[in-house]
Amino acid sequence: MIGGLAAGPGCPVRIMGIINTSPESFHGASVRISRDMVAGAAARMAGDGADYIDVGGMSTAPYLDTWVSEDTERERAVAGVSAVVESCRLPVSVDTCRSRVAGAAMDAGASILNDVTGLMYDPGMRSVISRYDPSVVLCAHDPGTRTGDATDTAAILSGAVRRALEYGADPDKLAVDPAIGFFRDGGLGGLHTKIRDDWARRDASMLGTLREVGGGLPVLVSASNKSFIGRMLDGRGPDGRMFGSLAAEALAVAGGADIIRTHNVAESRDAVRVASLVTGRLQF
């Protein structure tokens, strides 16, 4: 159960809509600054078929200088989560690696913690998990240099799961994320994993190996408008990657994804439904 909803093998593929309250986000079209903008976006996503809303107060794109103070991230995240909670009934996820931000977001109504470092950045997440018992999305992350292939990613995620369990997380509330976009040959902010091989090839290859990396847990995939799609589309920027994103999301469903995190809920819903029907995840 992720955010109170059944997710994983044997369940419908869930859709998580992205709302960024960080003006620094790599995808400007996803940014919602005011409370009314956040509330309106959340209501539209709910109407378009989202199962969850994910709110972020600081961009974690590894190729941008987007680091903001903890106070700034907390203020944005709390305002965003509060606006979503007031505008729809969907479970809310907070995208942060900082425990104080996570705790404040939980107080505001979030029930899912989405940590791009797999609980490695802030040991204070132990107290957040103990106090709030959230669902937890564990992204593949390592401060060293890795190959990033399926076997390696599975090993990183297995370590993240062990860490979450040591922190007291409920094993039935865990999901894993292969961290598409966060394995790079270089970057800023320290939230990426250094990779020896071509990062775009690595990200593309993940789409077909999700069952291998999941370890039986629900697998969340966030490919929406990511750089590897731009690479495959001859350098196209985020605003021109929608159709490529939908193709990647359909392939992710075929590869075993259980949750699709996306900027484009209505369009992704259709791609996910078709892919689910074709692969037998849903019945005609």
pLDDT tens-digit series, residues 140-149: 999 989 999 9
> Could you read off the pLDDT of 174-221 as tens digits, one per residue?
999 999 998 988 665 667 889 888 999 999 999 999 999 999 999 999
Long-range contacts of 119-128 (CB under 8 A, 24+ apart): 119/160, 119/163, 119/164, 119/167, 120/160, 120/163, 121/97, 121/191, 122/97, 122/98, 123/99, 124/98, 124/99, 124/100, 125/99, 125/167, 126/167, 126/168, 127/99, 127/103, 128/99, 128/102, 128/103
Asked if residue 62 is part of any domain, the answer here is yes
Asked if residue 78 is part of any domain, the answer here is yes
State residue 274's pLDDT score: 96
State residue 26's pLDDT score: 54
Q: Which residues of 120-130 are buried (b: 16+ CB within 10 A; e: fewer)?
A: bbbeebbebbe
Per-residue pLDDT at 44 exceeds 60:
yes
Per-residue pLDDT at 115 exceeds 80:
yes
CATH of the domain at 223: 3.20.20.20
Give percent above pLDDT 70 in the chain. Answer: 92
Per-residue pLDDT at 159 exceeds 90:
yes
Per-residue pLDDT at 156 exceeds 60:
yes
Name the band, by pLDDT with cuts 50, 70 and 90, for residue 36. Answer: confident
**Strand-strand pairing, 112-115 and 135-139:** parallel
Give percent above pLDDT 90 in the chain. Answer: 74
Among the listed ranges 36-50, 174-188, 221-235, 263-277, which one has the minimum average pLDDT value? 174-188
Asked if residue 3 is part of any domain, the answer here is no
In terms of residue numbers, what domain contains 157?
A: 14-275
Name the band, by pLDDT with cuts 50, 70 and 90, for residue 34. Answer: confident
Asked if residue 37 is part of any domain, the answer here is yes
Among the listed ranges 21-25, 119-123, 133-137, 248-252, which one has the minimum average pLDDT value? 21-25
State residue 184's pLDDT score: 84
State residue 62's pLDDT score: 58
Asked if residue 204 is part of any domain, the answer here is yes
Asked if residue 1 is part of any domain, the answer here is no
Contact 213, 175 (CB under 8 A): no
Asked if residue 237 is part of any domain, the answer here is yes
Q: Which residues of 205-230 are buried (b: 16+ CB within 10 A; e: fewer)?
A: bbbebbebbbeebbbbbbbbbbbbbb
Q: How many residues does the chain have?
A: 284
Q: How many domains does the chain have?
A: 1
Given strand 14-20, what is the order of strands in its sheet?
174-177, 135-139, 112-115, 92-95, 52-56, 14-20, 259-262, 220-221
| More confident of the two residues 238 and 165 | 165
Per-residue pLDDT at 101 exceeds 90:
yes
Asked if residue 219 is part of any domain, the answer here is yes
Write down the residue that tokens 């903008």 correspond to: 37
Q: How many CB atoms lie within 10 A of CB 157?
A: 24
Per-residue pLDDT at 281 exceeds 60:
yes
